[in-house]
Amino acid sequence: MRQEVKDLALRQLAEGGATALSINAVAKELGVSGPALYRYFPSRDALLTELIIDAYRDLTAAIAGAGDFSGLAAAYRAWAVAQPHRYRLLFGAPLPGYDAHDVQLVAAAQGAMAVLLAVAADSPDADGALKVQLEGWQPGVPPGRALAGVSAWTRMHGLVSLEIEGNYASMGIDPDLLFRYEIDRLNSGR
Amino acid sequence: MRQEVKDLALRQLAEGGATALSINAVAKELGVSGPALYRYFPSRDALLTELIIDAYRDLTAAIAGAGDFSGLAAAYRAWAVAQPHRYRLLFGAPLPGYDAHDVQLVAAAQGAMAVLLAVAADSPDADGALKVQLEGWQPGVPPGRALAGVSAWTRMHGLVSLEIEGNYASMGIDPDLLFRYEIDRLNSGR
DNA sequence: TGTACATCAGTGAACGCGCGTTCACTGATGTAC
DNA sequence: TGTACATCAGTGAACGCGCGTTCACTGATGTAC
């Protein structure tokens, strides 16, 4: 039942945009009255939090077995393109009135980043204040690697987020070709 | 009066997230009844469209006089960081129920891109199908330059969008240092 | 200067809608003797 | 096997809220003679 609620909630998010998560609407589609769902989730925010944590874990799983960095990048993109609503849940604008400071949520996000850092190259350019910050952020990781990880994530996110909002499509440019071009560049250190 | 409405609408967007644009709320804050605003805007969507067009023009103006590519990148970022709600209006998730196919809107977006293309470097790597698409997208522009423009935009967007959602802050990393690192890399062809 | 009129910004009521959440409750199911 | 009871998923009404939009209207302002 909890799973059914989540599935329907995701489907409604997919159809109606990030604000479209409504307990009443989910209940209705489930053929049940609104208050019934409060047996399973204490509040709308709790449901939302669970969806986000699920999404982090799912994304993490999707990129974990993808091989080297190129494989990870392809898996990251494929996951996002297949379910843009979940990608937005993770990296889009914060939902009004929703406080994203749940402990499990932060842990789930770190899990995904750990997978990325495991296959990131090493950048020789981490120095000065940036180096100190990178060491503070990921104490066990060489700062050059942490920098390469953040940088790679940033570039993937730029590509993926513009793709899922249809920006390349409206230019008549195939996102696939652009993605390959950028990842090749990134891999060759450019 | 129209300008006052727009200003208040922007302020409410800034405070309440992308869904927070409400004619009634704007009217209330203006000390006027809801229907009064229909003298000035035919509908909520029309107001929204105007805000988006304004934002494109404003962003275009901000990056137009910024000198070379490094200057443009800095101006682009400064504009977005100063008013993230407007940046989201342009490049964030589409608003549910809002159709972004206004003619003026498309023109405004192209104006911004033209400024970027004017200072973009040239990439030697545009070939094959991608080259054909780039030529179709910007007929008068060498495809290598178009590719460099799209690529630079993508990377700037990755940096800026993660910054305004607070992702670097939550890692303890100064977005300023990261931005400079990435733009230096981009400038040196890496 | 005074009067008749037109303009038009803004009003208040209403329509129909949806939301999250609480509350006391029904009624089916399963358990214990 | 039959009866008494506990559990608990789900109900329907209600609270207070906000939304976009329409409609007929008031009432102040400005214009024309």
Nucleic strand C under 7 Å from the C-beta of B2: no
Which pLDDT does position A19 carry in this prediction?
Answer: 82
Q: How far is Cα of residue A149 from the mean position of the Cα atoms in its chain?
A: 15
Q: CA A120 → C1' D29, Å?
A: 71
* % of chain A with per-residue pLDDT over 70: 99
Say which DSSP state B63 is in: H
Which pLDDT does position B163 carry in this prediction?
Answer: 98
Asked if residue B189 has pLDDT above 80, the reply is: no
Which pLDDT does position A168 carry in this prediction?
Answer: 96
Please provide the size of chain B in residues. 190
Nucleotide with C1' nearest the A32 CA:
D10
Residue partners of A146: CB distance under 8 A and separation at least 6? A117, A120, A126, A134, A135, A137, A138
CA distance B95 to B48: 10
Please, are residues B72 and B119 in contact by the beta-carbon 8 Å criterion?
yes
Q: What is the pLDDT of residues B53-69, one digit of tens each?
A: 999 999 999 999 899 99
Please, are residues A161 and B158 in contact by the beta-carbon 8 Å criterion?
yes
Residues in chain B with CB shorter than 8 Å from the CB of A91 are: 161-162, 165, 167
Which pLDDT does position A123 carry in this prediction?
Answer: 87
Q: Mean pLDDT across chain A, nearest whole number?
A: 94
- Ordered DSSP codes for B137-181: HSTTS-HHHHHHHHHHHHHHHHHHHHHHTTTTGGGT--HHHHHHH
More confident residue, B99 or A169: A169
**Residue B40 touches chain A, beta carbons under 8 Å:** no
Which pLDDT does position B127 carry in this prediction?
Answer: 86
Reported as a pLDDT band with limits 50, 70 and 90, residue B22 is very high
Asked if residue B18 has pLDDT above 90, the reply is: no
Q: CA A31 → C1' D6, Å?
A: 27
Contacts 24+ apart (CB under 8 A), A174-177: A174/B129, A174/B130, A174/B133, A175/A81, A177/B128, A177/B129, A177/B130, A177/B133
Please provide the size of chain A in residues. 190
Q: What is the pLDDT of residues A178-188, one digit of tens each?
A: 999 999 999 88
Q: Extract the runs of DSSP E, i.e. beta strands, from chain B.
A: none
Which pLDDT does position A40 carry in this prediction?
Answer: 95
Asked if residue B27 has pLDDT above 80, the reply is: yes
Low-confidence ranges of chain A (pLDDT < 50): none
Secondary structure of residue A148 in the 3-state scheme: helix
* % of chain B with per-residue pLDDT over 90: 82
Q: CA B41 → C1' D30, Å?
A: 24
Please, which positions of strand D sit below 7 A from a protein CB?
Answer: 8-14, 18-24
Which pLDDT does position B99 carry in this prediction?
Answer: 81
**Structural element, H or E, at residue A58:** helix A44-64
Which pLDDT does position A99 carry in this prediction?
Answer: 81
pTM for the model: 0.93
CA distance A17 to A11: 10
Reported as a pLDDT band with limits 50, 70 and 90, residue B162 is very high
Which pLDDT does position B95 carry in this prediction?
Answer: 86
| Closest Cα in chain A to B164 | A93
